[in-house]
Chain A
Amino acid sequence: MNSRLPEMLHCLNSTTSENCEMSVLERQRSRLKQQEQLTHHHPPIPYFNGNDHLAYSGFHGDQALSDLVLNGGAMKPDPGVEHDDFRRFMNYGTGTTDFQMSCALPRTVSCPPYVAAASVDSAAGKESCKKRKAHNLKIAAEEKKMKGCAEEESKITEQNSNSKSTTTTISTSANKNNKGPSANAKKASDAPKTDYIHVRARRGQATDSHSLAERVRREKISERMKYLQDLVPGCNKVTGKAGMLDEIINYVQSLQRQVEFLSMKLAAINPRLDFDIENYILKEMFPACPPAMEPDHSHLQFNTSVEEVSGSGLEMVVGPMDATLRRTISAPITVQQSFLDSSSLNQIQQVTWEDELRNLYSMEYQQGRSTPFISQQITGFLEANHVKLEM
């Protein structure tokens, strides 16, 4: 193998000089062809071909980025075919952008999404500890916040701010490009929980899948705690999870006691209301409940339906007695009917309207997301060029 290396180097250099103007894919393809030819010439090394393919598809992605930051000058003497291939790769890479794209391409296509996060300032020194993983994890469709650090990871991935390293920017944009549109659309439209989003570990955090999953779980828990905090009155003042849990427990207990108390009272009243309960309650439920409900309407969609029901109830009260009788005889059916008759049209309209609104929102959201992406990509490329010029 070692005897073949200079030959390969030479060969590839020649192809480099030829293919300066070619696109990245073409270059890679031609290189692979060359290697195949070479292996054809040297049958005693049967596994070299596969090895090389492997190197191009998987290994190069990470190495390339770190080497890029080092600018190919101070290469570590890393024994092995892959690295040498790589140096060649480095040396003949004319435009940094093209080169980086060629690095990003195999990664996004074939390998697990390792993101070599070589920050520009620290890149000159070390090479080893700059790999970050971007893992696909099943979590809820919303953007999650990283719990461990104060900074929001998802924001970073969204914004791709300029302070971030160039390589990270490019690789993330490549990843996003890979499955960008679908992810955006799903996030925008309340997707089910089986979506993939990228969770990224920061420096110093564990990157194995278990701890990442654990982090996601913790995020979920804190999110639900926040929701509960909004739900339970007086929970906002309490700080700390223990206090919040105490408040929640007390609130649930008080609610359950309230239910018990109310059922006790109703049980006491119930036998006296033998004759009247049906009429009264059914008469009372529908005119009386909607005003009581209205303060805490969380969904606009149901406003109209309730109003319709209340309207029918009022009519019923004003109307003749047989209407009330009919109503009391078949209570659930009439309720269903009233829902269907009076408010189904409205509901459908509301639903479609809401869907349209949601689509609009999602479109806006996508637009809002996509434009920064493009700009960040551009800035990332510009930065990459800048880095190259500096070095």
Chain B
Amino acid sequence: MAMNFHQSAIKTRFAVRFVQAMKRLNKRRGVTTTDSYKRYRATRAAACASMASAVGPQRAWSRAVLSKTKRRRFQAISRKRRLINPRRNLGFGQEEDLRGLVPGGKGMEYCSLLSETAHYIRCLQAQIQVMTDILHHSSSLN
């Protein structure tokens, strides 16, 4: 499968975006410093969103994540697409599980679901690597 996946480029972009998001989180002191769970949620959302924006809108899963973050603008479109898609077959249990796991997988055809899953896995790997690096570095400095 010809997949245009430049993992290092995506990694760099993700790192930059994620660091920016963290900076922004730190500036919003009121919310983030008080509640640790909220902070965790915000960090996770920042990680997801920065990964999706690093990938760009050409992938379905990143589109789904981005539309989730900018919900107001994209809600109608995503609903409609989900309803319209004719090739969506009611698969067996595992397929449904996979649909639940991959963002935006609810409205996908099985074939594209698999390719999106592959891309998503690679992006998650890159994300984990970058985040681990950041964590290692900051913990070693402390």
Interface residues of A (CB under 8 A from B): 140-142, 190, 217, 220-221, 223-225, 227-228, 231-232, 242, 245-246, 248-249, 251-253, 255-256, 258-260, 262-274, 276-278, 280-282, 284-285, 288-290, 292-293, 296-299, 301-302, 305-306, 309, 331-332, 335
Contacts and interface: CB of A to CB of B under 8 A. Distances in A.
Contact of B20 (A217, A262, A332): A332
Interface residues of B, number: 61
Interface of B: 1-3, 5-9, 11-12, 15-16, 19-20, 22-23, 25-26, 32-33, 36, 39-40, 42-44, 46-48, 92, 94-95, 97-98, 101-102, 110-111, 114-115, 117-118, 120-122, 124-125, 127-135, 137-139, 141-142
Contact of A281 (B19, B46, B110): B19
B124 A255 contact: yes
A220 B118 CA distance: 14
Contacts of A246: 94
Given A293-B129, A298-B7, A227 B102 contact: no
B2 to A, nearest CB: 5
Nearest to A262: B131
B20 to A, nearest CB: 7
Nearest to A290: B8
Given A242-B94, A305-B8, A262 B132 contact: yes
Given A285-B133, A293-B129, 9 more contacts: A224-B114, A228-B118, A266-B134, A271-B33, A285-B19, A288-B137, A297-B8, A305-B9, A331-B20
A220 to B, nearest CB: 5
Contacts of B20: 331-332
B5 A298 contact: yes
B39 A270 contact: yes
Given A251-B121, A267-B40, A293-B129, A302 B6 contact: yes
Contacts, number: 185
B12 A335 contact: yes
B1 A289 contact: no
A331 B9 contact: no
B12 A309 contact: yes
A278 B134 CA distance: 11
A270 to B, nearest CB: 6
Nearest to A333: B16
Contacts of B2: 141-142, 190
Contacts of A298: 5-7
A274 B26 contact: yes
Contact of B138 (A255, A273, A309): A273
Contacts of A251: 121
12 contacts: A245-B98, A264-B40, A270-B43, A271-B39, A284-B134, A289-B130, A293-B7, A293-B8, A293-B11, A296-B125, A298-B5, A331-B16
Contacts of B11: 289, 293
Contacts of A306: 8, 12
Nearest to A265: B135
B117 A248 contact: yes
What 6 A-B pairs are tightest by C-beta distance, nearest first?
A284-B137, A224-B114, A255-B124, A267-B43, A262-B131, A263-B44
Contacts of B137: 280-281, 284, 288
A332 B20 CA distance: 9
A253 B97 CA distance: 10
A66 B23 CA distance: 76
B90 to A, nearest CB: 15
A309 B142 CA distance: 26
Given A245-B95, A252-B124, A331-B16, A228 B117 contact: yes
A224 B138 contact: no
Given A223-B1, A252-B98, A280 B141 contact: yes
Contact of A224 (B1, B25, B131): B1
Contacts of A142: 1-2
